[in-house]
């Protein structure tokens, strides 16, 4: 699950480029299925989104909640892929991108019919 926070005022195309870039990085580096896509963008007024003066208006916070088990190397590749993708389109400088990974245990997830994720065949590898 992806939560993205940006300042208000950007176009629908800009926001779609962020969603697509983050999702593609997850597919390419962690091997999640392309159809497995739950993402949200939160737009905040400037007065509700403070940051250092050395950041531009394009400052972007990306919070990814995912199953534990990915290697440090896979996470580094994910960070780099997100920064590269968003640098290409919509043109966000890497210094304006913050990424935080949250990894609650699978027993703390329920995805299908009230079953814990630890009891579900997800259909993809987690230990990459």
Residue 27, domain extent: 2-119
28 domain-assigned: yes
Residue 126 lies in a domain: no
- Six-digit token string for 124: 């993809």
pTM: 0.90
Pick the range with the lowest mean pLDDT from 14-18, 100-104, 117-121: 117-121
Q: Is residue 108 part of a domain?
A: yes
Chain segment 17-50, per-residue pLDDT in tens: 999 999 999 999 999 999 999 999 999 999 999 8
The CA distance from 13 to 123, in Å, is 31
Q: Looking at residue 94, what is its pLDDT?
A: 96
Considering its fold, how many domains does the chain have in total?
Answer: 1
The reply to whether 127 falls in a domain is: no
Who has greater pLDDT, 75 or 116?
A: 75
Are the beta carbons of 64 and 100 closer than 8 angstroms? Answer: yes
The CATH number of the domain holding residue 99 is 3.30.429.10
């Amino acid at each position: 699950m992806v939560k993205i926070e940006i300042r208000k005022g950007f176009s629908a195309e800009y926001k779609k480029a962020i969603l697509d870039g983050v999702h593609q990085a997850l597919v390419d580096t962690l091997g999640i299925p392309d159809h497995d896509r739950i993402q949200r963008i939160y737009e905040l007024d400037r007065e509700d989104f403070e940051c250092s003066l050395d950041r531009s208006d394009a400052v972007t916070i990306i919070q990814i909640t995912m199953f534990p088990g990915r290697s440090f190397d896979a996470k580094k590749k994910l960070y780099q892929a997100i920064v590269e993708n968003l640098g290409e389109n919509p043109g966000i400088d890497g210094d304006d991108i913050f990424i935080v990974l949250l990894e609650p245990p699978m027993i703390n997830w329920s995805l299908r019919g009230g079953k814990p994720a630890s009891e579900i065949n997800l259909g993809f590898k987690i230990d990459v």
